[in-house]
Structures are given as C-alpha cells and as structure tokens.
Amino acid sequence: MHELSIAENIVDIVKQFVPDNQASAVGIIHLRVGPFAGIIPDSLKFCFATLSADAGMANADLRIELTPLAALCRACGNQSEVKNFTFRCSVCGGGDLEIVSGKELEVVEIEIAENT
C-alpha cells in the first residue's frame, strides 16, 4: 500500500511549511490527484488520519481534487479528456498523444485555523 508512504510525505510537506507550535491548527490540506498517480483516495485519507494525529495535527483533513486524464493529439492539436484509458484522439482517431493532465499528486494548499 503506497498510500501510507504518500501520507507520510504529505505530513512531511506540512511540517516544512507549518511551525511545530501551529501543527494543531492545521485544518484542511488540499491535494490535486490524477488517475495516473495510482491513489485510492479513501486509503490515503485513512493513512493520513492516523499519521497526522501522531504528528500533532489531529484536526487536519485531506480534501482531494481528482483531476481528469487529458491528452493532446500531436496530429491534429485536439486536447480532450481520455475516457476509459482509450488513448485515441476523439477527433481524428490518432494515437500520437501527449498526456497533459492526470499525473498530478500535489499539495495545493494548507489551511490554518485562525485563533479566535
């Protein structure tokens, strides 16, 4: 299960940007994930919940934005979403495609709760 190591990396990334004394104030961590990242979102959330509690970020929650798999046809220039992993241009039927989205696995934003 590589979701565990990815969850560890997310915790490490948050620690790089959030001082230790503010770890408990981490609210929402926004991720962008594409289908080629091979992530099972529920498994990642489970692993993250366990690790973040141990890291003092018990209130932290992952919000995962799933990005579509999209490709650019080098023959005709059409860019479209790839459905069912069928790597053919929807316009010309060509197979010379460049993946332009769908490989993402990135922390986009870390929200910190304001002191009230």
Query: Tokens at residue 87, please?
Result: 């790597």
Strand partners, 98: 72
The dihedral sign for the CA sequence 18, 24, 26, 29: positive
Q: What's the CATH number for 3-68+102-112? A: 3.30.2320.50
d(CA 68, CA 17): 28
Two structure tokens written together for 102: 């769908």
Tell me the β-bridge partners of 28: 61
% of the chain beyond a pLDDT of 90: 88
How far is residue 80's CA from residue 50's CA, in Å, rounded to a whole number?
Answer: 38
pLDDT of 20 strictly over 80: yes
Mean predicted confidence (pLDDT) in 57-71: 95
Q: Where are the domains of the chain?
A: 3-68+102-112
Q: Model confidence at 15, in pLDDT bands (50, 70, 90)?
A: very high
| Helix ranges restricted to H, the chain | 3-17, 41-54
116: pLDDT strictly greater than 90? no
What is the overall mean pLDDT for the chain? 94
The tokens describing 85, both together, are: 């992993």
